[in-house]
Structure 1
Amino acid sequence: MSTDFQRLLFDISEALVTDELVSLKFLSLDYIAARKLEAIQEPKAFFEALQEKGMIEAGNLSFLKELLYRIGRIDLLEAQLGSSRKEMERELQIPGRAQVSAYRCLLFQLSEDITKDELKSFKFLLGKELPKCRLNPKTTMLDVFIEMEKKGILGEDDLSILKSLCAKINISLLKKIEEYEFGEEEMLITGEQRGSRGGPEAHVRWLASSVASDSPGSWNESSQLEAYKMTSRPRGVCLILNNHSFAKAREAVPEPKNMKDRNGTNVDAAALRRVFSKLHFTIAEYNDLTAEEIRKTVNIYRCEDHKNKDCFVCCILSHGKKGIIYGVDGQEVPIQELTTSFTGQNCRSLAGKPKVFFVQACQGDACQQGVTVETDAGEEDYSVETDAKFQLDCIPAEADFLLGMATLQDYVSYRSPREGTWYIQALCQHLEYSCPRGEDILTILTAVNQEVSRKSCKPNAEKQMPQPSFTLRKKLIFPVN
């Protein structure tokens, strides 16, 4: 074995501290028996064990590079191995290149995020499951995970107890597990074997970004919020459900209240078509649907294969009330029924991808009163109507949803018969202006809130305030190019 290679391993081992050795041993548990790793007390012995297993050798340092990347020792990665963070990120994006399993990376990532007080809580809650001698003050979170695996209460196929503990201690830890499980779910969808190195694209991206952010030698780029992939052409479907004529509802006995035709809604639909076409979405518009036709149309797109798409958008323009939109026949459709159709369980090809809903409908009958402030704005067009009568629990309790509401719960929203609705027009204008500048959707919706809130309707200066709610895990940006 070359002297240069041995010198390289020696220099790296000299730069590692005890806690980093513990991390390296944990990440290598799939290759070296736990009993053997327990006996290793210094990095040189660890590297010898890896050489015995054929995991590192003079002509192949890929596993060593990945280990240093995972623990955040980018300085050693660059100075000793001639690699870099970006190079490793590109490398680990390639299916099959990651040698540390996603499951092992998940546990390591959780251990890095858990505070000292949270570690005490884990030990307390596991007091009856694990030997007390293994839960002493020196026991780390990685030690706890190893003991849980030994007791058979934690494994790649069994995260249930860990999830229940995280739900009690820190819900953000639970969300990290669920994010990992999205990758597992996509593996099952694409037919890959659980536990395989790499996995489908979403899981590979998760693996590539699983690196300690505050370890020695790391830098702040890893703490930057990741953006959803948005490179497919087309990006996805933009489904527009546009209800204008409510003659069928007015013919009903008893006649539903406030079921006038929604004059001006076609102006909104045209603006949505224009903007989302520029954002590279396929437009699917349906006009004047009954409640049953709305359900059938949504089911068509629930069953569609979105595998090669990055996103799904649904715009609903109709009359409504709290938690409800109306078909043109005056029959009700719960908003939650529509959004839940696109959860990962009900629409597997959209698992882990953003699902965006914009709803132009009132949430009640109340008018929102404004507060008098000075303004340099000119006079508004006050020839407006309401879409009388939706609530925040309409969004599924699952990641990757965004629900943009025209107004606050219990309040009306306004529509100009000539110029369209305050909300949809502001939304389209800001999307058209801000997307080419790379702004994310939540920044854009904040600007929409500001613009709509400045408008007022005479004679009593009624106001309107839109309200987004979301379970997005990443930045959502719609590139124009």
Structure 2
Amino acid sequence: MEFPRQRLLVVSEELDKAELAALKFLSLEHVPLRKLEAIQKAQDFFEALQEKGMIEGGDLSFLKELLYRISRIDLLEAQLGSSREQMERDLQIPGRARVSAYRYLLFQLSEDIAEDEMKSFKFLLGKELPKCRLNPKTTMLDVFIEMEKKGILGEDNLSMLKSLCAEINISLLKRIEEYELNLFGEEEMVITGEQRGSTGGHEAHARWLVSSVAPDSPGRWNESSRLEAYKMTSRPRGVCLILNNHNFAKAREAVPEPKNMKDRNGTDVDAAALRRVFSKLHFTIAEYRDLTAEEIRKIVNIYRCQDHKDKDCFVCCILSHGKKGIIYGVDGQEVPIQELTTSFTGQNCHSLAGKPKVFFVQACQGDACQKGVTIETDSGEQDYSIETDARFQLDCIPSEADFLLGMATLQDYVSYRSPREGTWYIQALCQHLECSCPRGEDILTILTAVNQEVSRKSCKPNAEKQMPQPSFTLRKKLIFPVN
């Protein structure tokens, strides 16, 4: 088979500096460090692989694995004639994976370490590594390489890295423990590094790589927990659709006038918070303001019909008035929440099948008040307005898998909005996403913290309270990586 130089040229032109650095790092067991450090162009990297016999004739299996590991599925499919599914099958064949389990672990950690966490690593390593190697341009992969050079990091020497992760981010430590558990087993984890090198060997190596085929999967942390995570590596992750209804003048002009159709002052504060947070989480933001019921349907249908094949998730945030199981357009007309969520089932939106579909709804859903937290009315003189945001009815979320529906409060009850500060629910949600996603916490853990925060809020004088409640058919952990 003729050597596909033209395709390699196209691939080389598509790779950016960070991706080339990742490919070089993952190849360190096959190409000497000194040679890799001198390489600045992807074409030179491919030449080095060819010299080492890693690209021979038409055999591009190693390059395919590298592109798969860094999640350049577009190049894998378009230029090398493979696919994510094919690579997942191939890498489960014993001996097929050529990126070492240890090297891949370090790469995964580098992808999960946030910017502020990387600064902490550099600070704590200040006495171990030369300061000139810890400048602002030094990446986490560079830090790992310097640690290896100093002999404080290696396949059988993870103790210092584990200590650092324990100080900085416990979820990173759990990733290392997962690697050790899968690679060596519970009993072998107590063996010394020298003894460990002679046990398990290639079989253990293959076992861990098979368990970590999905680049972002946290896998299992112990023998009894095997819950994997949804893939969340695409850039962008997907669309965050924000439907933000503020001005209900059209509804107030209707005859008869719908009940409680005041303008939703403060909703723009919520929308701004959602834009900020989901942009940081690498979503494409699509915001629409003051939509009638028919316009809501049309916008939702546009995104239902979009091709989400290269995206990992879909998020929809709805900010409006409503009643039980219903949201209102600014014209006072009703749109069932179930109609919106069902639009994105696998049958109605094929490219989102098997991927998480997340809905957050801040909308009037009822009139009852929960005792325990005081409230103020929605007048121009007071801080908080009553929004009757109740929990979904049972049929609001599709029975199909991979959905999450977060509602601001329990069924039949009100929720609260400050004209200056936004709603309790959306503000708490955004704050906890911003704080907890960099630590690797999953969405259900985050929503539990949101429940706790909102339930503790109060305002005078009537001792009313609010309790959000999510509903979900998720099959895996849903984690939004910041990197």
Structure 2 equivalent of residue 383 of structure 1 = 383
Q: Does 1:90 align with 2:92?
A: no
AA matched with 1:470: F
247-256 or 223-232: bigger deviation:
223-232
Q: Does 1:355 align with 2:357?
A: yes
> Quick one: distance in 2 between partners of 1:306 and 1:65?
31
Structure 2 equivalent of residue 308 of structure 1 = 310
Change over 3 Å in CA distance of 1:231–1:266 after alignment to 2: same
Deviations 1:6-40 (A, max 9, x none): xxxxxxxxxxxxxxxxxxxxxxxxxxxxxxxxxxx
Pairwise CA distance, 1:74? 8.4
Structure 1 equivalent of residue 301 of structure 2 = 299
Q: Is the CA contact 1:343–1:351 (under 8 Å) kept in the aligned structure 2? A: yes
Pairwise CA distance, 1:325? 0.2
Change over 3 Å in CA distance of 1:244–1:73 after alignment to 2: closer
CA RMSD of aligned residues (A): 3.2
Structure 2 equivalent of residue 458 of structure 1 = 460
TM-score normalised to structure 1 length: 0.55
Q: Is the CA contact 1:363–1:408 (under 8 Å) kept in the aligned structure 2? A: no
Change over 3 Å in CA distance of 1:257–1:88 after alignment to 2: same
Pairwise CA distance, 1:93? 7.7
Q: Is the CA contact 1:228–1:353 (under 8 Å) kept in the aligned structure 2? A: yes
Q: Is the CA contact 2:432–2:449 (under 8 Å) kept in the aligned structure 1? A: yes
467-476 or 384-393: bigger deviation:
384-393
Extract unaligned runs of 5+ from structure 1: 1-60, 67-71, 95-200, 214-218, 373-380
Q: Is the CA contact 1:407–1:464 (under 8 Å) kept in the aligned structure 2? A: yes
SS at match of 1:282: strand
Structure 1 equivalent of residue 399 of structure 2 = 397
Structure 1 equivalent of residue 433 of structure 2 = 431
Change over 3 Å in CA distance of 1:429–1:220 after alignment to 2: closer
Q: Is the CA contact 2:373–2:457 (under 8 Å) kept in the aligned structure 1? A: no
Pairwise CA distance, 1:363? 2.4
Deviations 1:322-356 (A, max 9, x none): 00000000000000000001111111111111110
Q: Is the CA contact 1:258–1:388 (under 8 Å) kept in the aligned structure 2? A: no
Alignment of 1:17-416 (within 5 A): 82-85=201-204, 87-88=206-207, 90=209, 220-221=222-223, 223-370=225-372, 383-388=383-388, 390-416=392-418
Change over 3 Å in CA distance of 1:296–1:82 after alignment to 2: same
Pairwise CA distance, 1:278? 0.4
Change over 3 Å in CA distance of 1:471–1:252 after alignment to 2: same
Q: Is the CA contact 1:362–1:407 (under 8 Å) kept in the aligned structure 2? A: no
Deviations 1:243-295 (A, max 9, x none): 00000001111000000000000000000000000000000000000000000
Q: Identify which of 467, 470, 473 aligns with 1:468.
A: 470
> Quick one: distance in 2 between partners of 1:63 and 1:383?
64
Extract unaligned runs of 5+ from structure 2: 1-91, 98-181, 186-196, 375-380
Pairwise CA distance, 1:91? 5.3
Percent identity of equivalent pairs = 82
TM-score normalised to structure 2 length: 0.55
SS at match of 2:354: coil
SS at match of 1:357: strand
AA matched with 1:447: A
**Structure number with bigger Rg:** 1
AA matched with 1:323: G
> Quick one: distance in 2 between partners of 1:330 and 1:288?
11
> Quick one: distance in 2 between partners of 1:73 and 1:437?
24
> Quick one: distance in 1 between partners of 2:94 and 2:436?
42
Pairwise CA distance, 1:223? 2.9
Q: Is the CA contact 2:373–2:459 (under 8 Å) kept in the aligned structure 1? A: no
Aligned residue-pair number: 290
> Quick one: distance in 2 between partners of 1:301 and 1:369?
40
> Quick one: distance in 1 between partners of 2:446 and 2:183?
37
SS at match of 2:358: strand
Change over 3 Å in CA distance of 1:299–1:464 after alignment to 2: same
Change over 3 Å in CA distance of 1:92–1:274 after alignment to 2: closer
